[in-house]
Structure 1
């Protein structure tokens, strides 16, 4: 990779990788956020599994393939500036779709692992009516989660029924099941329409049930 975690915006110069339909012709868009050690191009493969014709795919790239250095369960300050820079990269991808004429309620966000953490944090910190949110083996970022903190930050803004899917294993080595339920609680409090599925013994990955559910979410927004 060309980037490193230097400066206040380590991911700011990294590319936005695209796939699927051309933005100018697309009916909807999916912003895909890759996990630690992966790449924007690699998560486009998942995007191809969940998105049919007419859907643009937008995948921001992390510097050195890592959005932030430590566990998402550590104090937020230990993962700066990567965390904030990653949230900006996600926001820029959403803005790219909107600027191309795709309304926010047809823009879905989906992430895996570190990318799922960033996608959920972005949506919870920037509530509006999105096309959907898929949090695959991830959750909100921080040492602890306080629903009131998110509600106060929202200042009356709402997810307004945004469909959200949270999928994770009950024995994921990186994602405690409790954090998935805490994330559900926050998104529900922000008026998201949340579906959470915990898979027994799955490990850290994406299964066919998740792909089927998220594919349906994308199809519903076209």
Structure 2
């Protein structure tokens, strides 16, 4: 197996061409999804002036096991997935505060984990049905602060894939580093993207 199972995978683009766009949105699909799927969500957000970039996981899966299991069980896929996000962010050619990360399910976990580990102050971080990764959460980059960085966490209270406790722990971690966190919790066991989340994300992206 390659040291990076996601090496050489496509990076799909839509919206304003990179290099011309003043803002960019990196979109991360969930397990069994695709870059094309998540680009469709980006189009549904309909925020003007954004380059949309979506890397694609090998086999449609960023990592093979549940996100709350020990990180070592999800290697080398997880490190490869983080590298794919890093490459997509670099491909925007924009400063961090003009780049937003948005992911659903596995992609939400990946977006949140990338932002947390990197300590970079992105324009927005949007995790829809996800939380930070691992049985024990990684420490933030020493000295990093997320003062004022908008973070959106949206999830069902009874999501069978995402424990509510992990969503709340993720909220606590980002708030503890100064992020401006909006948490939207919904009744029922729905695992998908709600129109309320779309509205919240659209407003957040519009402020970049």
The answer to whether TM tops 0.5 is: yes
Aligned partner of 2:118 among 126, 129, 137? 126
Q: How far did 1:95 drift?
A: 1.0
2:147 counterpart residue number: 160
Over 3 Å counting, the alpha-carbon distance change for 1:51 and 1:90 in structure 2 is farther
1:91 counterpart residue number: 86
Q: How far did 1:202 drift?
A: 4.6
Give the match's secondary structure for 1:10. Answer: coil
List alignment gaps of at least 5 residues for structure 1.
1-5
Over 3 Å counting, the alpha-carbon distance change for 1:67 and 1:89 in structure 2 is same
List alignment gaps of at least 5 residues for structure 2.
none
Give the match's secondary structure for 1:117. Answer: helix
- Give me the TM-score of the superposition, normalised by structure 1: 0.91
1:189 counterpart residue number: 176
Matches within 5 A, 1:1-222: 6-97=1-92, 99=93, 102-145=94-137, 149-151=138-140, 154-221=141-208
Rounded to whole Å, the distance in 1 between the matches of 2:132 and 2:203 is: 24
Rounded to whole Å, the distance in 2 between the matches of 1:109 and 1:174 is: 21
Is the CA contact (8 Å cut-off) linking 2:160 and 2:189 kept in structure 1? no
Give the match's secondary structure for 2:172. Answer: helix
Deviating beyond 4 angstroms after TM superposition, the runs of 4 or more aligned structure 1 residues are none
**In angstroms, what is the RMSD of aligned CA positions?**
1.1
